[in-house]
Amino acid sequence: MKQNYINGAWVDGATAVANINPSDTSDVIGHYAQADAQQATLAIAAAAAAAPGWALSNIQMRADALDKIGSEIIARKEELGTLLSREEGKTRAEGIGEAGRAGAIFKYFAQECLRLRGDKLASVRPNLDVEITREPVGVVGVIAPWNFPIAIPAWKIAPALAYGNCVLFKPAELVPGSAWALAEIISRAGLPAGVFNLVMGRGGVVGQAFLNDRRVNAISFTGSVETGAKVAQAAIGRMAKVQIEMGGKNPLVILNDADLATAVHCAVQGSFFSTGQRCTASSRLIVEKGIYPAFVAAVREKLAALTIGDALAADTDIGPVVDAGQLEQDLSYIQIGRDEGATLAFGGERLVRASNGFYLRPALFTDCSNDMRISREEIFGPVASVIPADNYEHALAMANDSEFGLSSGICTGSLKHATHFKRAAQAGMVMVNVPTAGVDYHVPFGGSKGSSYGAREQGGYAAEFFTTVKTAYCGV
């Protein structure tokens, strides 16, 4: 059994769960510890005890530790990426790419340790100096999702450690393998006991313990809208700092002047790759009427050429859905789309493969309206709605007509429309002639409206969440 890592030691959990391969449900990847509330409390106590010393630790030591972690992840990215794909279901190429990104994130924040800036200002009063510095928040609870099981933990854990915080890491229950492998690498980086803790277990037990305990100074959460709202309420209720990334119903606008090949690539890659299980997936394809028939025909042709199969097979383009529950949700929404009157123009059926897995052919709905449930609610699967638009202004209005605002894209040859869309799109990230899914690790990630709450993640902007500002006066 793979154990939890608490206060510098590997410890058994109260129970254990099997980690099942969604490409082949007969393949048990391993058994992973599940903490109970008592063990979660022990981890919190360890982090709280280590926090004062780690906050004052040498920045070169932090940088060396994070760089060591990043270097090992990159050196082992094929192994780690294969494990990731085996337990989550994205293709091996995508898994290896994600592992490499996680390594790059740690190496980026290794250097950020050395770049923590402050200010020194003149006071309006005589004989006073004013210094503004950034200090760590303290103990940070990291609650990560299953769809990016090594990259998202990396972009939370790395800045937390870089800025002098102690970490309590609760991974998603579906993907303990990647979390454990990452924690094992971190455990050998030379961090003092209690600075980093892996606490695998149920959200209602481990996550709730993080939310309830006042020794946990901040919570960084990525997950569903429903759970995110509960996390926000609990954290704010006891005045803990909170950062939440939730859902998306991201639009990709296709104008008549778009390059058709570019538009099809952006739509298919952004909507369906990683089995559509990305919060940045473009699940609303808003298409101007002049290009609508050619676009739909070309997307159908592209989808028909894709191979849906075992995530580890070399010829697979799209792997399985992550588990039976997600597959059931996807199929339910496909039926909802039919019932609403949308045309299922391609796919949408469960597939049978040599191994027993959760395989689903990507679903493309046409003749959709922006007020259908399939156009408004996050499905989190390989399902996209094509919505006709009269012109650019109509398309922009529909793109912005959503409770979400994570990523928004446009395909156009018009500099005028591209420039206007970048300003007018109500989203935290805007893409022009590139897929809505896919961002660099050194720039901020986050959305507006119901997609995000709190400070941005990634890049230098991560300091806004993982540090607090102190103003100090000194008489001279």
Just list the catalytic residues: 245, 279
Q: Which residues face 219 on adjacent strands?
A: 141, 242
Closest CA to 254 of 291, 297, 302, 298: 291
SS in 3 state form for 48-78?
A: HHHHHHHHCCCHHHHHHHHHHHHHHHHHCHH
SS (H, E, C) the chain: CECEEECCEEECCCEEEEEEECCEEEEEEEEEEECCHHHHHHHHHHHHHHHHHHHCCCHHHHHHHHHHHHHHHHHCHHHHHHHHHHHHCCCHHHHHHHHHHHHHHHHHHHHHCCCCCCEEEECCCCCEEEEEEEEECCEEEEECCCCCCCHHHHHHHHHHHHCCCEEEEECCCCCHHHHHHHHHHHHCCCCCCCCEEECCCCHHHHHHHHHHCCCCCEEEEECCHHHHHHHHHHHHHCCCEEEEECCCCCEEEECCCCCHHHHHHHHHHHHHHHHHCCCCCCCEEEEECCCHHHHHHHHHHHHHCCCECCCCCCCCCECCCCCHHHHHHHHHHHHHHHHHCCEEEECCCEECCCCCCCEECCEEEECCCCCCHHHHCCCCCCEEEEEEECCHHHHHHHHHCCCEECEEEEECCCHHHHHHHHHHCCCCEEEECCCCCCCCCCCCECCEECCEECCCECCHHHHHHHEEEEEEEEEC
Cα separation, 94 vs 90, in Å, equals 6
In whole angstroms, give the CA distance from residue 196 to residue 199: 10
56 touches 119 (CB < 8 A): no
